[in-house]
Structure 1
């Protein structure tokens, strides 16, 4: 199954084209890195894939949903996002409620029913990321690495086919980054596709996978055109 498919896609930020004629596919269970300098289009590409930005030209589908051509024009966007896990560098946790309530908020928003079923799912994902004991804690009581694990747990709640991660280790020290990377590898090995934007070339060398590079308005795919990271 193909979880991302873009053909001659134009990636826009406001009125500016940041990437043009983007063509690539990502298969179920595949892992790829997204690299490029700040401002090269990485975040805009990810936002287009989870339909935060429209796709004005070309064609694109993610987990079987056609990407919308206009902002807020597609009533299927919530269904698309239920099939995705989205992981942000700045966590975007709700700091006025506990870890469990952060996760419960997402389950309620995505239509889960039954208190016991929701509590069980929260326990499952926290155990999956090695945080079985933190459900009752507030986010500010956790380290940066623990907060990122909560964000990953949140992304796993709906058993996504695809994880989109925007610089998930960008604010973490090297040891913590390595432990987070190992968690992504475990999740990927269990069958979830991962597209991870990163500046951390050391991680890419340590955990080699396909690399997509945003450069001068183009997307270069190491599976098609091998290149040296620099």
Structure 2
């Protein structure tokens, strides 16, 4: 079904939190356009795995390739370039409370090397339309509901047209109806070709929005069938 190189690949990777091995011998690929859930109990290693993918934690053993970057050879100066290719969506929104939506998004564009004001304005409009908040430019974070704030966070993650979105419990602070709306946004982005790896505790989502599922358990990552 997928004939291109994977956008994410781990081969016999050991995932550490400080000096503690949390996941051993991890191997899996994610290709363009795939939607993959990462499940497991609290403390099972989900967040450590995601942090390794965007180089918040270093890959100490094994091989990893994310958006064309080899994690085992990554240098600190390469990390910003890697993160331009990955969209990261956190559970806590991490929006600047003293800036409006447009200013929050413009900050990311400037930080990742954009300089043309017209192009920045256009890109911000595009991602806000993508998440269904096309008129929210001038609103402050406190004027947005939790679901709206999470949509802004998804828009922020999409600014640099990432090859893959990595989402850590993106519906963890949202009620079920809003969670479904956020999942629909993710699905639209995924259907347009962006791969998504989403850690979640919410197993209802797996039934409503089926996808490939990886589980962290007993220090390993196993693929669930069906």
TM-score category of the 2 structures, normalised to the smaller one: over 0.9
User: In the alignment, what sits opposite 1:28?
Assistant: 32
Among 63, 67, 87, the alignment partner of 1:63 is 67
- Please give the alpha-carbon distance, in whole angstroms, between the structure 2 residues aligned to 1:52 and 1:175: 32
- Please give the alpha-carbon distance, in whole angstroms, between the structure 1 residues aligned to 2:58 and 2:177: 37
- Please give the alpha-carbon distance, in whole angstroms, between the structure 2 residues aligned to 1:117 and 1:208: 36
- Please give the alpha-carbon distance, in whole angstroms, between the structure 2 residues aligned to 1:158 and 1:127: 15
User: In the alignment, what sits opposite 2:178?
Assistant: 176
Q: In 1, are the aligned partners of 2:62 and 2:72 still within 8 Å (CA)?
A: no
- Please give the alpha-carbon distance, in whole angstroms, between the structure 1 residues aligned to 2:31 and 2:216: 20
Q: Secondary structure at the match of 1:183?
A: helix
How many residue pairs match? The answer is 222
Over the residues paired in the alignment, what is the CA RMSD in angstroms?
A: 1.1
Q: In 1, are the aligned partners of 2:131 and 2:185 still within 8 Å (CA)?
A: yes
TM-score, normalization by structure 2: 0.96
Q: In 2, are the aligned partners of 1:51 and 1:68 still within 8 Å (CA)?
A: no
Q: Deviations over 1:128-181 (max 9, x none)?
A: 111111110110110000000000000000011100000000000000000000
Displaced runs of 4 or more, over 2 A: none
- Where structure 1 has 5 or more consecutive residues not aligned to the other structure, the ranges are none
Q: In 2, are the aligned partners of 1:107 and 1:157 still within 8 Å (CA)?
A: yes
Q: Deviations over 1:81-115 (max 9, x none)?
A: 11110000001111111110000000000111211
Q: In 1, are the aligned partners of 2:44 and 2:216 still within 8 Å (CA)?
A: yes
Among 43, 49, 74, the alignment partner of 1:45 is 49
Q: Secondary structure at the match of 1:76?
A: helix
- Please give the alpha-carbon distance, in whole angstroms, between the structure 1 residues aligned to 2:45 and 2:136: 36
Mapping of residues 105-120 of structure 1, within 5 Å: 105-120=107-122
Among 152, 155, 166, the alignment partner of 2:154 is 152
TM-score, normalization by structure 1: 0.94
- Please give the alpha-carbon distance, in whole angstroms, between the structure 2 residues aligned to 1:69 and 1:167: 28
Q: In 2, are the aligned partners of 1:57 and 1:69 still within 8 Å (CA)?
A: no
User: In the alignment, what sits opposite 2:7?
Assistant: 3
